[in-house]
Amino acid sequence: MLIKGLLATEMSGSIAGITASHNRGGQYFRARAIPVNPSSTRQQAIRGALAALVVRFAQTLTALQRDAWDVYAKNVLVTDKLGAQRQRTALNWYIACNSPRIQSGVILPTVYIDNAPTVFTMSALTPPTIVSATAATEVLSIAFTNTDEWAIAVGGALLVYTGIPQSAAVLSYKGPYRYAGKIPGAVVPPTSPLPITSSWPFAVGNRIHCQFRSINIDGRISASFRLSALGV
């Protein structure tokens, strides 16, 4: 539960069976929804990868490596839903930086980034754009800036996630998003735009919501960036 201001003037999160949130109309409360425990093959694989990262952080990394992740965590703050700056733990950052690489199959020099980044920033991502979303092939044409750091080295990548197709009028979408593909970085940067096949089927007139995140060779990840396009 996050509370901002005096006497709970702004709240976000859940306590017992009540969830607090806010929209353009102001603060509101609703009954907490208990999610169904997902058990698809894809979801089980993600859970297994996260569990493996927790074990690796505790048992494989040296104390010096864990301390280095703690230094990174203390220097790189994230913004929460209420706009406040928050500090993640060393383990949080280790998982955040490694799980996208495992999911996308970016392997350089190994699957795992065990040494914490020594540049105390997140990856800088110039917002991509969706040039087109072709329903006949379910392919998105993604335009990007190929001078970004992720694009100019082997081991960097732009990761693309797509959400369940929505009606054209649905302009705001929080998820879920499913990994669709990546645009790998290279010594000779990739040429924009490039195609990515949607992880969900869509039709003409459907709104396709996409989420983007870049990962750098040193393990740094960018903040997520979202936008949408209509299927044609």
d(CA 52, CA 48) in angstroms, rounded, equals 6
Angle between helices 90-104 and 63-75 (to 10 degrees): 100
Check pLDDT > 70 for residue 101.
Answer: yes
What is the chain's alpha carbon radius of gyration, rounded to the nearest angstrom? 19
In sequence order, which residues have a C-beta less than 8 Å from that of residue 156 and are 6 or more positions away?
A: 106, 149, 150, 184, 185, 214, 215, 216, 217
- Who wins on pLDDT, 196 or 11? 196
Q: What is the pLDDT of residues 126-184, one digit of tens each?
A: 999 999 999 999 999 999 999 999 999 998 999 999 999 999 999 999 999 999 999 99
**CA distances (Å), origin 97, targets 20, 50, 152, 200:** 29, 11, 19, 25
Contact 104, 157 (CB under 8 A): yes
Q: How many residues does the chain have?
A: 232
Average model confidence (pLDDT) across the chain: 87
Contact residues for 172 (Cβ-Cβ < 8 A; gap 6+): none
Domain boundaries, the chain: 2-31, 41-104, 129-230
User: What is the assigned CATH class of domain 129-230?
Assistant: mainly beta
pLDDT tens figures, 22-54: 555 555 566 666 666 656 676 777 778 889 999
Q: What stretches of the chain show up as alpha helix (H) in DSSP?
A: 41-59, 63-75, 90-104
